[in-house]
Amino acid sequence: MIHRRLTAVRIAMTKIRLQAFLVTEMAHVRYLTGFSGSNGLCVITPEKQFFVTDRRYKSQAPQEVDGFTIIIAKQNLFPLITEKSLIPKQARTGFESEYVSMADLKSLKKLLPGRHFAPTTKILETVTALKDDGEIALIRYAAKITDKVFKKILALIRPGIRECDIAAEISYWHRKYGAECDAFDPIVASGERGALPHARASDKIIRRGEMVVLDFGCRYCGYHSDLTRTIAVGKPSAEMKKIYKIVVEAQKKAIDTVRHGVEAWLVDAVARKHIRLAGYGRYFIHSLGHGLGIHVHEPLRLSALSTAILQTGNVVTIEPGIYIPEIGGVRIEDDIVVREDNCDVLTTSPKELIIV
């Protein structure tokens, strides 16, 4: 597995004429090495690969890191690159420009004179976009944990409870069921706040007759889940029931479109057309979905502007929504694996309108 990933990175390095590549984003470090700690970096050259961390992880690193020469720093990691001559002089050296600060780049140039530092974008993101069976199994298990949490939360939501209390329960039960952590701060948005797609849980009290948007996920062994369901607390209004039905239908049409070779913009267009023809097009205000894996939001986008073509092994979310200011919103989201002739839905929580 590590060999396959390193080979893919080296092919990408060759294409852009890199003699060395510095990996500092911790999710990418974990993807390449298996290291789950909080401080580390990788140096990859055409023939060798090094993993550098600090002495807090002296015992942990050999247990987790496979296929890399491990180097332990006493304090800062960057000086070890010079001291151990990990990057050859005059080497054209790529770095992850989205994750390296200007201060760190300045430090690297001072520590490693003579190297030409070349900013790169999305080398690892391109490699990680295609998941193998082991990665898909981990995402599936993360989704299973989140599905269990959703079932648990249904028994806790009631009129009079605060949104933030539900969010706290989501975080607790994620950990209780084996997740490393939440994938992101849980979204719990009730009533009018449901019209805010990225509303964080507040101290608002949930009232009878309101719809509640619940968007949450977890990280398990470095891989993420992402689930959204919208439920009713007490009998919802006729309009909200109508909106709910439209969103569920739009999502099903989009999921039925997903397969290898389909253009990402088309999947978005299928859901968007259904919502538009139902009269709510201007209330669907975000893209249909995004890539999912070692990051909860990976670059692959299902949007009207996307130029991506879906490939077997991509994992994406499908999450149409309708958001009406001062009234509320509905979003339904599932995690999907692209297959050759169809797709596999990893999240299994029910999608019929649940009234608690």
In tens, the pLDDT along 99-145 reads 999 999 999 999 989 899 999 999 999 999 999 999 999 999 999 99
Please enumerate in sequence order all residues whose Cβ is within 8 A of that of 304, keeping only pairs 6 or more positions apart, or say none.
265, 268, 269, 272, 287
Domain 133-345 of CATH type 3.90.230.10: yes
The tokens of 128 are what? 């990680």
What is 133-197 written as a DSSP string?
HHHHHHHHHHHHHHHHHHHHHHTT--TT-BHHHHHHHHHHHHHHTT-SEESSPPEEEEGGGGGST
Q: Is the pLDDT of residue 2 over 90?
A: no
pLDDT digits (tens, 9 = 90+) for 296-332: 999 999 999 999 999 999 999 999 999 999 999 999 9
Average model confidence (pLDDT) across the chain: 97
- 2-128 folds as Creatine Amidinohydrolase; Chain A, domain 1 (3.40.350)
Q: Can you give the residue ranges of every domain in the chain?
A: 2-128, 133-345
Burial category of 193 from C-beta neighbours within 10 Å (exposed 0-12, middle 13-18, buried 19 and up): buried
